[in-house]
Amino acid sequence: MCGIVTAIATRNIVPVLLEGLRKLEYRGYDSAGLAVLHNGEMVRLRSAGRVAELASLADNRQLQANIGIAHTRWATHGVPSERNAHPHVSAGLAVVHNGIIENFETIKADLQAKGYVFESDTDTEAIAHLLHHKLQSGVDLFEAVRLTTNELLGAYAIGVVTEADPFRAIVARRGSPLLLGVGEDGMYAASDTAALLQVTRKVVYLEDGDLAELRLDGYKVVLADGTPVEREVHLSSLSADAVELGKYRHYMQKEIFEQPQALANTLEMIAGGGSISAQIFGVSATESLAATRRVLVLACGTSYHSALVARYWIESIAKIPCTVEIASEYRYRESVPDPETLVVVISQSGETADTLAALKHAKSLGMSKTLAICNVPESAIVREAALRFITRAGPEIGVASTKAFTTQLAALALLTLALAKQHGRLSAEDETRYLTALRHLPVAVAKVLELEPQIEQWAQKFSGKQHALFLGRGRHWPIAMEGALKLKEISYIHAESYAAGELKHGPLALVDKEMPVIAIAPADELLEKLKSNLQEVRARGGELYVFADAGSEIPESEGVHILHMPEHYGMLSPVLHVIPLQLLSYHAALVKGTDVDKPRNLAKSVTVE
Ligand code: G6P
């Protein structure tokens, strides 16, 4: 979380910093700030609100500069306020930071003893003063940043500018993402590529421990010990359109409607072929998958829900035992390691601290068969895993995950088939049948999206409610969980999900006419069981909203609203059933007038524990 931008160029870089922050707002948006050298003097502007407020402050000051740093924040240390907003300064130098400095209290106490006065509650201010202290010892700026970062424990991506050294900006990273942009008129750095597309496509990914000096005429990168190092220049293929809203009102809406394309892109490798190859997970995947005796899937949030669906698939189709665990639990739990287990980590961003730590933990326990399913190819999680599958959803900006989820499901369906095949449990006939269903998935999703007008009407009714229950069974239970998560995330309506069979063991006590109950009713083998559960709700006066496949034969009646989904889609039905739940949350949030793309208190990539 938190986004940083750094720029040094012959043009006025103030608009570049602000536009970069707008693109990074998904990483945090509780305050924003910048520091630039305006006519040789450091000017710092900060706002406790959004980037738009910072932009109007910069406008009022008619700020112009050729070098500067900027930040958009998701608070960790210290409440969101102007005082805690970055940049943090220490006599003529300014620092922006993304990450958490674990030993900042020791550093702070030491600096306070030396006479430094702290103005904020942040860990970042300790970096600013420590850097100032290093500079006092006579070393140059670059060396001072290197010595400072070597004393930091935890994760950081930082940007530094100083009044005394106006011809270079310094950046460094460990744990938090940071890349350089090589421009025609100068050098840039940011937390992700989207922030830099406005000025360049030439990007250099920094590695953990790297330190870089940015000048008007170029840059240099060194390792933590000061040894110069070459890092490859990549030409980003990310299109500017991918990060623009276009005709849509919100990123979440855009991303919901991009799902057919995102799925088609993710499934491109099976578009023509008649068979599944384990190689799509990496060169050593054939061997790894064949030797897999168990699967352990680790993830957080929405990615965890995709893992839960996969458990049903892997056990029923590949017949391999599969457990799924929340990454933040697994990393601190005493578990029994097993080298024959394939450890799968799922993450949209590839940055989630708990998921990354869980992967490292599994490796430290001797589990070397690891696979990352991720939407960001250069991310830390991808680099840490032995095998990889990159979902091709394109950048997901809305905090509530949508297209990342359905493309993760597509990847997990491929993994299920590859495992089943390696273990001789996939007949040629089934392989063809599943692959055909996968190939048609984008079209099937597009059809479900056409149900939007009816869902909009349902959302009107929902928006007045305080609570909601979501029910599902089997592989649709995780979809009920995802529906409840979506609703609470963006509409702030309290929502819980239950395996429908559990209703009578407690939650039924909550059901009355004020409690809408949303049921996922695919025409599968559990339908009759689910219908009994729905009767239990109706008998207590609960109002039912049922997403029923054609063939489910649940009649509409007083208090029972039915939305008819297309034909049952077999194994892949969860991918279709999540779509109306995404739309329901989106429209409920619209009616409630919440900030859909930037819900309160949340952030897109959670790089802290
Ligand atoms: C945050 C986001 C969620 C996301 C979760 C895991 O909480 O708000 O939308 O599901 O992180 O993120 P990841 O990038 O690891 O999938």
Ligand 1 atom nearest to CA at 302: 10
Annotation marks residue 2 as catalytic? yes
Copy the structure tokens of residue 10: 């012959």
Residue 562 to residue 205: CA distance in whole angstroms: 50
| Distance from the alpha carbon of residue 606 to the mean position of ligand 1, in angstroms | 7
- Residue in 458, 407, 465, 420 with CA at minimum distance from that of residue 560: 458
SS3 track for 176-210: CCCEEEECCCEEEEECCHHHCCCCCCEEEECCCCC
- Residue in 20, 39, 15, 12 with CA at minimum distance from that of residue 186: 12
Residue 74 to residue 53: CA distance in whole angstroms: 16
| Distance from the alpha carbon of residue 143 to the mean position of ligand 1, in angstroms | 36
- Those residues of the chain that have pLDDT short of 70 are none
Ligand 1 atom nearest to CA at 401: 9
Ligand 1 atom nearest to CA at 602: 8
Render the burial of 344-368: b for 16+ CB within 10 Å, e for the rest.
bbbbbbbbbbbbbbbbebbbeeebe
- What is the reported pLDDT for 442? 95
Annotation marks residue 504 as catalytic? no
- What is the reported pLDDT for 185? 97
Main-chain dihedrals φ then ψ at residue 557, nearest 5 degrees? -155, 180
Contact 279, 286 (CB under 8 A): yes
**Residue of 2, 300, 322, 374 with catalytic role:** 2
C-alpha distance from residue 123 to each of 42, 72, 176, 222, 281 (Å): 22, 15, 15, 25, 40
- What is the reported pLDDT for 487? 96
Place of tokens 């010892």: 137
The preferred substitution site among 401, 412, 607 for testing ligand 1, maximizing ligand atoms within 8 Å of CB, is 401
Tell me if 349 CB under 6 Å of ligand 1. Answer: yes
Helix H or strand E encompassing 298: strand 294-299
- What is the reported pLDDT for 239? 79
Task: Give the angle subtended at the CA of 426 by the CAs of 422 and 431, to the nearest 5°.
Answer: 110
Using CA atoms of 457, 458, 460, 466 in order, give the dihedral in degrees to the nearest 10: 180
Tell me if 301 CB under 6 Å of ligand 1. Answer: yes
The preferred substitution site among 27, 29, 303 for testing ligand 1, maximizing ligand atoms within 8 Å of CB, is 303
Domains and CATH numbers, the chain: 3-243 (3.60.20.10), 251-445 (3.40.50.10490), 452-592 (3.40.50.10490)
- What is the reported pLDDT for 541? 85
Q: Whose CA is nearest to atom 3 of ligand 1?
A: 301
Q: What share of the chain is helix, strand, coil (3-state, %, to 5)?
A: 40, 25, 35
The preferred substitution site among 27, 381, 606 for testing ligand 1, maximizing ligand atoms within 8 Å of CB, is 606
- What is the reported pLDDT for 102? 87
Q: Find the largest Cα–Cα distance for the chain.
A: 81
Tell me if 391 CB under 6 Å of ligand 1. Answer: no
| Distance from the alpha carbon of residue 503 to the mean position of ligand 1, in angstroms | 28
- Residue in 80, 21, 25, 16 with CA at minimum distance from that of residue 47: 80
Q: Whose CA is nearest to atom 5 of ligand 1?
A: 301
- 306 — alpha (psi -120 to 50), left (phi > 0) or beta? alpha
- 356-361 long-range contacts (CB < 8 A, ≥24 apart) are 356/380, 356/381, 356/384, 357/327, 357/331, 357/609, 358/298, 358/325, 358/327, 358/328, 358/330, 358/331, 359/298, 359/384, 359/385, 360/384, 361/330, 361/331
Query: What ranges make up the beta strands (E) of 378-477?
Result: 387-390, 467-472
Ligand 1 atom nearest to CA at 355: 15
Q: What is the pLDDT of residues 194-221, one digit of tens each?
A: 999 999 999 999 999 999 999 999 999 9
Tell me if 355 CB under 6 Å of ligand 1. Answer: yes
Helix H or strand E encompassing 89: strand 88-90
| Distance from the alpha carbon of residue 432 to the mean position of ligand 1, in angstroms | 33
| Distance from the alpha carbon of residue 447 to the mean position of ligand 1, in angstroms | 27
Helix H or strand E encompassing 110: helix 104-113
Q: What is the pLDDT of residues 225-261, one digit of tens each?
A: 999 999 999 999 887 778 888 899 999 999 999 999 9
Task: Give the angle subtended at the CA of 292 by the CAs of 286 and 294, to the nearest 5°.
Answer: 150
Residue 71 to residue 76: CA distance in whole angstroms: 14
Contact 575, 294 (CB under 8 A): no
Question: Which residue type occupies 344?
Answer: V
Tell me if 357 CB under 6 Å of ligand 1. Answer: no
- What is the reported pLDDT for 74? 84
Q: Whose CA is nearest to atom 1 of ligand 1?
A: 604
One DSSP character per residue, 213-229 reads EEETTEEEEE-TTS-B-
Tell me if 347 CB under 6 Å of ligand 1. Answer: yes
| Distance from the alpha carbon of residue 410 to the mean position of ligand 1, in angstroms | 18
Q: Whose CA is nearest to atom 7 of ligand 1?
A: 301
Tell me if 408 CB under 6 Å of ligand 1. Answer: no
Tell me if 602 CB under 6 Å of ligand 1. Answer: yes
Q: Whose CA is nearest to atom 15 of ligand 1?
A: 347
Tell me if 66 CB under 6 Å of ligand 1. Answer: no
The preferred substitution site among 402, 408, 602, 604 for testing ligand 1, maximizing ligand atoms within 8 Å of CB, is 604
Question: What DSSP character marks residue 317?
Answer: I
Place of tokens 């529906």: 483
- What is the reported pLDDT for 232? 95
Place of tokens 């597509």: 410
Render the burial of 70-91: b for 16+ CB within 10 Å, e for the rest.
bbbbbbbbbebeeebbbbbbbe
Which distant-in-sequence residues (6+ apart) come within 8 Å of 77 by Cβ? Answer: 84, 100, 104, 121, 122, 123, 124
